[in-house]
Structure 1
């Protein structure tokens, strides 16, 4: 099916280039892109070796040969662009957050369901083979009832007081930055792997860099000159969580932790055993037992069927983020063709994430435990919860 798909990427920054590479890796046709300006469009068309650069999204939607639209633009544009694409009969892969409000995310999910089109969200850390291995072992009851779920997601790209991004502006990136941007990935991953739903949160958000350069880029990063604006989104977050079964969890999120480039780490502690995964060392996972601990290695010759399926390279040949993204896009395209691959994150997962972000923001504002809306669970979610212990 992939070979017959024609895809267009809307938004040509770093993540847009990742989508473009994944599209080609599946064997689908990268038909073009939509950039922020005509000049940028010409530059990208040359860099990405594209047949053309579409002048705007309307031109993409008017092209009946385009099957799927990848939305990689700033967060505030996602709802409008995804809705237009769905109404034009296009399948959509939309970068998270699906929307910056719960109501908008729910509206998009309802539209996708009504039209019968795919709306997928790249929670791609699900696609590490050893993540699948840990999940499979949980489904087989290896860990027992959960005792504690904990971890962190740490980066340092906003550590400098002169670092700037459109994500800092709540009008463009949304009311939450660090938690919505990366904490959402941790929550999605742990909920899916552990088979739980976080039903309450107690969160604290903090801004450690009070002002940053005005604008959306790094134009002042070299000298620190120019006007500065007050930062209104968080650099760090700490979150206590409680599952529907009463299990406690904790999460630390930071975009200002020196030396931490993309450290998504979790530990799941059960009555019979524990599991640890570190995204920066994705070729191994740590398994704990009462009588000791051991490392397991990604190996397409051993382990669960899903670990083997997603192992694109022989053992000892490191896989990483790009491989996860390629596998995610391949599963999304297979779904468009009628397949039902395990674990594809879709609109329901985007809604779930929006609800968690809303609860975290509310909890931090009220300084109180806050419930997370868990209504409208899909049949797939219900099945996952039933097999959680």
Structure 2
């Protein structure tokens, strides 16, 4: 049997715990963890079930018992830490955004290609079996010509005026907050499932609260984005982190001339297929799904799979890629660069009130 692929995790927050669980579930091992201080790494190594703490990021990326570095830090640290890991010859999983500007994201993507290491960004909503089923059916033409692509991504974790987080600070989170954090997930999913690419967009952004914790808010709480695609479709997405009662409501409807495909991340066990004469519900049943979707349906029908299962599948595909296997649909730094460019276009469109062109 092959030796387990060894991961070093940079960061100790929520996403670091998700990464660590996924590594173990996928058959890997967490050998090292680095935090904002040696004491924090020492404190959180047992929680992440890491074999030992690292005193610094430099120590972690230099460790011979680390094959893959997972970067799970505040946004402004992604670029320097991912660069450091790549220069050390490690494979890298980096949370989005890759960097706070498209130029820096492009530089990081070029470096990853140059050193020839596996590089991935956790756009994990791609890994729901029902999402893969929608992708397969659309690719074989069941929808007819897709002409309207719409949906939303709504959360409420910043709904209270007193709620705050490092993401609210542009110096740490970037010029965009709500769209850069969750809107890019929706756009990545739309392009992955439909094969369409956004070529122009317009956007409006807004804040529900002008201050948080007594401090002025500089980043958006929500956004409405209109777009056109390279295949002639129109689209829209509404993004919010302040919609009370919506915990993680990523939804889409991709409408074609023959059928529409609807998905709700909070109810991911079914895919809705709409037709003029009838509406069908396809359940996440590995016995009934297409092979590309059934590959990710690891439990029998009726045993719900969720977000962590998607993350586990993502890391399993990262491990497969590290071992030299061909993996279809693994989101890479190229997809992270795409997200950075779409985010910059949204920021520009909201500031100017104009349509912004994007290369497909």
Give me the TM-score of the superposition, normalised by structure 2. Answer: 0.98
1:306-345 matched pairs, under 5 angstroms: 306-345=292-331
Deviations along 1:228-248, whole A, 9 cap, x unmatched?
Answer: 210000001000010012211
User: Cα distance, 1:2 vs. partner?
Assistant: 7.0
Gaps of 5+ in 2: none
Deviations along 1:80-122, whole A, 9 cap, x unmatched?
Answer: 0001100100000000111111111111111111111011000
Deviations along 1:294-313, whole A, 9 cap, x unmatched?
Answer: 11100011121121110111
Residue 242 of structure 1 contacts residue 249 of structure 1 at CA under 8 Å; is this kept in 2? yes
1:275 has 2:275 as partner: no
CA distance in 2, matches of 1:229, 1:2: 52
CA distance in 2, matches of 1:340, 1:259: 41
User: Cα distance, 1:273 vs. partner?
Assistant: 0.5
Deviations along 1:38-80, whole A, 9 cap, x unmatched?
Answer: 3322221232333211011110122122111000000011010
- The aligned length equals 360
1:234 has 2:220 as partner: yes
Q: Which residue of 2 aligns with 1:384?
A: none
Q: Which residue of 2 aligns with 1:386?
A: none
CA distance in 1, matches of 2:169, 2:326: 38
CA distance in 2, matches of 1:4, 1:304: 30
**Two-structure CA RMSD over aligned residues (Å):** 1.1
CA distance in 1, matches of 2:121, 2:76: 15
Q: Which residue of 2 aligns with 1:37?
A: 37
Among candidates 351, 373, 381, match of residue 359 of structure 2: 373
What secondary structure sits across from 2:251 in the alignment?
A: strand
1:1-389 matched pairs, under 5 angstroms: 3-213=3-213, 228-374=214-360
Residue 331 of structure 1 contacts residue 344 of structure 1 at CA under 8 Å; is this kept in 2? yes
CA distance in 2, matches of 1:2, 1:365: 52
Give me the TM-score of the superposition, normalised by structure 1. Answer: 0.91
Residue 355 of structure 1 contacts residue 373 of structure 1 at CA under 8 Å; is this kept in 2? no
Residue 37 of structure 2 contacts residue 56 of structure 2 at CA under 8 Å; is this kept in 1? no
Residue 268 of structure 1 contacts residue 275 of structure 1 at CA under 8 Å; is this kept in 2? yes
User: Cα distance, 1:372 vs. partner?
Assistant: 1.5
Residue 2 of structure 1 contacts residue 27 of structure 1 at CA under 8 Å; is this kept in 2? no
Residue 72 of structure 1 contacts residue 95 of structure 1 at CA under 8 Å; is this kept in 2? yes
CA distance in 1, matches of 2:85, 2:281: 45
Q: Which residue of 2 aligns with 1:218?
A: none
CA distance in 2, matches of 1:271, 1:192: 20
